[in-house]
Amino acid sequence: MTYDYEWFKKQIYTITTIDLNSYKEKQMKRRIDTLIGKYNVDGYNPFIDLLKKDKEVLNSFIAYLTINVSEFFRNREQWDLMDKNMIPMLTKRFGNKLKIWSAACSTGDEPYTIVMLLSRHMPLSQINVLATDIDLTAIAKAKNGVYEAKEIAGVPDDLKKKYFTKEGDRFKIANEIKMRVNFRKSDLLRDPYPTDYHLIVCRNVMIYFTEEAKDDIYRKFYRALAPEGILFIGSTEQIINYKEIGYTRANSFYYERPGIKLPGKT
């Protein structure tokens, strides 16, 4: 038997249900080959054997595979736009009880950023954010809510002072913020999407997927949005065929599902 990359992808899907065919092959294969070298095993077959027998290695592999790079208020100007324009627009349309989904939430930086921004506009008791990720290790860190100083460097001073407590050389986010986020394991490539969401945030993830996978996910996000709902994507991303899918461009990196036109309305 030839233990090549095609064989490896099938084995990984069997073990993890992660479909490597939806990731850019050259980029992902290079990352995987580098990781295999670090474990000092000779090729795909012995590495698969290692993944099957060592849970810690498997968890580390999934974390490495899903590329958890995140920080609070990443690309600050885009979050400022949310604070000043998008949240007021959404609350005007839907009220304070917004349905919000942070997709591919990584270690929690993004959903906690959303909650802190919303707290400037409404009581915390009215805020609920669904946060999903494929990596249970990342979700565990998110639930713990403890971060390095560099990870929260972008948090505005007023929010940092209000919602973080210094513990040694790290910072813990307030329980009142943590309570507003519901973390759940989910795979954007294969699991069902929730529906009727007013805001979906999915940033700096799509760049790792193939064009076919990206198109499929953006269409699923469209169906997951309520009419007049907003999708917020990353600064390195764009939806080339957004008009074909049905989106309108609300602003830079914000795409909208148009409202339902009533008879007689233009």
Show pLDDT as tens, one digit a residue, over the chain (266 residues). Answer: 667 888 988 998 898 888 888 887 888 888 888 888 888 888 889 899 999 988 888 888 887 776 655 679 988 899 999 999 999 999 999 999 999 999 999 899 999 999 999 999 999 999 999 999 988 888 999 999 999 999 999 999 999 999 999 999 999 999 999 999 999 999 999 999 999 999 999 998 887 788 999 999 999 999 999 999 999 998 778 899 999 999 999 887 999 999 876 455 44
Name every residue whose Cβ is closer than 8 Å to that of residue 35 and which is 6 or more positions away in sequence: 61, 64
What is the DSSP track for 171-189?
A: EEE-HHHHTTEEEEE--TT
Q: What is the pLDDT of residue 131?
A: 98
What distance in Å separates the CA atoms of residue 136 and residue 226, rounded to the nearest whole number? 28
In a domain, 264, yes or no: no
Q: Which domain holds residue 45?
A: 5-65
Task: Give the other-Cβ count within 10 Å of 265's Cβ.
Answer: 7
Contact 166, 195 (CB under 8 A): no
Number of domains in the chain: 2
What distance in Å separates the CA atoms of residue 176 and residue 78, rounded to the nearest whole number? 25
Q: Are 121 and 247 found together in one domain? A: yes
pTM > 0.95: yes or no: no
What distance in Å separates the CA atoms of residue 85 and residue 67, rounded to the nearest whole number? 30
In a domain, 265, yes or no: no
* 210 φψ region: left (φ > 0), alpha (ψ -120 to 50), beta (else): beta
In a domain, 31, yes or no: yes
Residues β-bridged to residue 147:
171
In a domain, 221, yes or no: yes
Q: What is the pLDDT of residue 60?
A: 80
Backbone angles phi, psi at 59, to 5 degrees: -65, -40
What distance in Å separates the CA atoms of residue 172 and residue 119, rounded to the nearest whole number? 18
Q: Are 57 and 96 found together in one domain? A: no
Q: Are 187 and 85 found together in one domain? A: yes
Q: Are 48 and 159 found together in one domain? A: no
Q: What is the pLDDT of residue 61?
A: 83
Name every residue whose Cβ is closer than 8 Å to that of residue 226 and which is 6 or more positions away in sequence: 94, 99, 196, 197, 198, 257
Name every residue whose Cβ is closer than 8 Å to that of residue 77 and which is 6 or more positions away in sequence: none
Q: What is the pLDDT of residue 3?
A: 74
Q: What is the pLDDT of residue 69?
A: 58
Q: What is the pLDDT of residue 266?
A: 43
Q: What is the pLDDT of residue 33?
A: 86
Q: Are 29 and 130 found together in one domain? A: no
What distance in Å separates the CA atoms of residue 232 and residue 117, rounded to the nearest whole number? 14
Q: Are 58 and 81 found together in one domain? A: no
Tokens of 25: 């092959």
Q: What is the pLDDT of residue 183?
A: 97
Q: Are 51 and 169 found together in one domain? A: no
Q: Are 246 and 197 found together in one domain? A: yes
Q: Are 160 and 200 found together in one domain? A: yes
Compute the half-sphere exposure of residue 74: CA atoms within 13 Å on the CB side of its CA. 21
Q: Are 50 and 82 found together in one domain? A: no
Domain boundary among 35, 65, 95: 65
Contact 193, 222 (CB under 8 A): no
Q: What is the pLDDT of residue 136?
A: 87
